[in-house]
Structure 1
Amino acid sequence: MKKIFFSFLLLLLAVAVQAQIQEPVKFKSELKNLQAGEAEVIFTGTIDKGWHVYSTELGEGGPISATFNVEEISGAELAGKLEPVGEEIAAFDKLFEMKVRYFANFVQFTQKLKLTDGAYKIAGYLEYGACNDENCLPPTQVPFSFSGKTEGTAASETVQTEDTVVAGEADGTAGTTVVEN
């Protein structure tokens, strides 16, 4: 009887812990080769109903803005800033007491790169904030890692995150490699 009670208690605890984990936003990341010497990292997110993801450059004292963070880069350099894509909503937020910009249902962020050498590697993460009408999640990171060769040389390209490794071909022509997080 004690074993059954202990097993039931353990199962109940596991269900309670699982219920605490919220993942209202799911992102995938991809590297898209544009014309020779240019590429862009694209983060595409689906957002659960009732939740929203904040846009870029919201200012001090507000929610977490979406940011592109580089931990390692070689053979490439950033070209411009992280750009939000999609139907951005601007509204006054009572919680932060300021006007904010956010996305509901779907969001996409892009960061252009200039590929400066035949071989490139870039690794880092997208950081973003998400809230609903009741609460906000802590800042969330979407890791990415892309490497390959450009300049028309056929080479293997590896895309890696903490959970997934996807291999594809990068030959300097337009192409896309996708990683789901």
Structure 2
Amino acid sequence: MQKFTLGLAAIFLFLTLGLTAQKPVHWNFEVKSLGGNEYSLIFHAKIDNGWAVYSQHIEGDGPIPTSFTFEDGAHFTKVGPITESGHKKSGFDKAFGINVTKYVENGIFTQKVKVNDFSKPITGYLTFMTCNDKTCLPPTDIDFSFSPQPAKQAPVKVEPKKTAPKPKIEKKSNPTTPPKVVTKPKKTTHKTPQQKKNTTKAKVPTPTPAPTPAPQSTPQQNPKLPVQWSWSAKKISDKEYDIIFKAKIKDHWGLYSQTI
């Protein structure tokens, strides 16, 4: 009797070790940035051929649904429920006698979160059960930890403001002072009394002096200047002249009045 009991215990121990050694489901985790401080925490289940992982939404006395437990903290906030995707199969399951939803080959579970503090990881554990057509493994807990990183902002290019080029203003040359017009006084000859006696009195008409032409002057100027100056003197009387200044102005340039 004792030998039979020991043999039966050894059989159960062998079966338990055989089932425990099997790992038909392989989990890995991924973080995906959604912009700003929002991220997707993605749970990937790679499932061996012939095995299945069950949905979160199982009703009745069926298989243990997959579940996710997050450790509470103010450093993050869950946004909405966990979504499911992958190779999904839904229908009546003979082993459990109810309709179930399960994933074969692969299952993807995604939780959207908003991160408030990047210095702390988001941790917790998931629970799942897996079965094939002949047997089921007991529910298993898998720890997880996510460490989202702040999104790197692209450098902003600041283009310099385009300013219209300032027009080059050439300095106007001040006209030099026109030359002074000097009128030489008439020379008078004083004759001695003896010379007066020997001089024959005759009326000689006084010659009219030739008119002094009005002096003109053009200073040496830079031909590139937009305004070229010249001046002239116009005789009004023996002792009076008009000094005339002339400005020759290039196209698209102007010269302002002295009465502005």
* TM-score in terms of structure 2 length: 0.49
Q: Offset of 1:25 from its aligned partner? A: 0.6
Deviations 1:78-120 (A, max 9, x none): 1111211113100101222110001111111111112234544
In structure 1, the gaps of 5 or more residues are 1-14, 149-169, 175-181
Q: Offset of 1:19 from its aligned partner? A: 4.0
Q: Is the 8 A contact 1:41 1:110 kept in 2?
A: yes
| 1:27 counterpart SS class | strand
The runs of at least 4 consecutive aligned structure 1 residues that moved more than 6 Å come to 15-18
Give the letter aligned to residue 45 of structure 2: G
1:109 maps to 2:135? no
Cα–Cα, structure 1 residues 173 and 130, in superposed 2: closer, same or farther, change >3 Å?
Answer: farther
Give the letter aligned to residue 102 of structure 2: Y
In structure 2, the gaps of 5 or more residues are 1-13, 154-260
Q: Is the 8 A contact 1:74 1:122 kept in 2?
A: no
RMSD: 2.3
Q: Is the 8 A contact 1:34 1:173 kept in 2?
A: no
Q: Structure 2 CA distance, aligned partners of 1:22 and 1:127?
A: 17
Deviations 1:112-154 (A, max 9, x none): 1122345443110121111001111111222111235xxxxxx
Partner in structure 2 of residue 143 of structure 1: 143
1:100 maps to 2:100? yes
Q: Offset of 1:43 from its aligned partner? A: 1.0
Partner in structure 2 of residue 29 of structure 1: 29
Partner in structure 2 of residue 74 of structure 1: 74
Q: Is the 8 A contact 1:33 1:173 kept in 2?
A: no
Say which is worse superposed, 48-57 or 30-39, in terms of deviation.
30-39
1:172 maps to 2:184? no
Partner in structure 2 of residue 127 of structure 1: 127
* TM-score in terms of structure 1 length: 0.68
Cα–Cα, structure 1 residues 89 and 16, in superposed 2: closer, same or farther, change >3 Å?
Answer: closer
Partner in structure 2 of residue 56 of structure 1: 56
Give the letter aligned to residue 61 of structure 2: G
Q: Structure 2 CA distance, aligned partners of 1:34 and 1:93?
A: 38
Q: Is the 8 A contact 1:73 1:120 kept in 2?
A: no
Choose 1 or 2 for highest CA Rg: 2
Q: Offset of 1:49 from its aligned partner? A: 0.9
Q: Structure 2 CA distance, aligned partners of 1:90 and 1:173?
A: 41
Select the structure with the greater relative contact order (CA < 8 A; seq sep ≥ 6): 1
Q: Offset of 1:72 from its aligned partner? A: 4.1
How many equivalent pairs are there? 139
Q: Structure 2 CA distance, aligned partners of 1:58 and 1:77?
A: 26
Paired-residue identity, %: 36
